[in-house]
Structure 1
Amino acid sequence: MRLKRKEKKVLLIGVTYALLDFIETYTIDFPELIVMETGGMKGKRREMVRAELHQILCQGFQVRTIHSEYGMTELLSQGYSKGEGIFSCPPWMRVLARDINDPLSLVESGRTGGINIIDLANRNSCAFISTQDLGKVYPNGSFEIAGRFDNSDIRGCNLLVQ
């Protein structure tokens, strides 16, 4: 493999279902590869929790960790994880967790709730998004995404071209 011989870092970025399709079709031996999933099955496969997904991708790509990007069409900013499913975001983006039974109340740090996002980069547009994602927010501002609310809409900008 030419990329492996050049001893340069290689980043493979893909939507989640496509990365799963890839490892089911190809066998790869490139443990130095950095794999970043951008989330979502987009109705192509069954949804699964991130820990299960990352375990399958780690085995398929034969890498130790899977990096992730968290964002959406409506946001100008994204959160990134270098592994272990813990995301960080830029200082102008804030993630909060709301009570799943009372959308006007926030939950305490480390408890699972619905994800709300404030993105100040969204100047002249919607700076606040209430998502259908479930996750936890930690005191340092980092967060993790566990999955989506049951029966939530399938989302993704790539669905617009299909």
Structure 2
Amino acid sequence: MSSMPGNDPVFAIQRTYLKDLSLEIPGAPQIFLENQQPAVEIQLDVASQGVVEGIYETAVTVTVTTKVGDKVAFLVEAKEAGIFEIRNVPQEQMPLILNVVCPNIVYPYLRANVADIIQRAGFPPIHLAEINFEALYQQRLQQQQEQEVQKGPELYVPNR
């Protein structure tokens, strides 16, 4: 029994690209004279969308805010995206592919771009830590389930 070639699962990277990048150094040039250790805050987000049938975009966005005392030294926001061809994959596997597999492919490019832009801005590069996207995805699912439980079941009131 041979499978039809048109029904084999397909997962292919079409391309990765830097979709958005912004850098702000509101305290320049004075901030370069500061010699105390900066505090770094990092926020991360993953979003996916269908583009056309079988083609999806997954984007990983990071915001790096670095402060010296109460002054912002610099703020970088970068969004790295990838276009993926995904076909003949069971529907229940799609969330895992889009929220774990695709971000794992896109994220190294994002890390390199962020380190590069920070260094080009005149600061020591910040190398973003490795991210366990599977743990992040599981955490997000758990939060959604908790919110649904807190909301309680929908109340159905029939029309009179």
TM score, norm. by length of structure 2? 0.27
Higher share of residues assigned helix: 2
Higher share of residues assigned strand: 2
> Which fold has the larger relative contact order, with Cα–Cα distance below 8 Å and residues 6 or more apart in sequence?
2
TM score, norm. by length of structure 1? 0.27
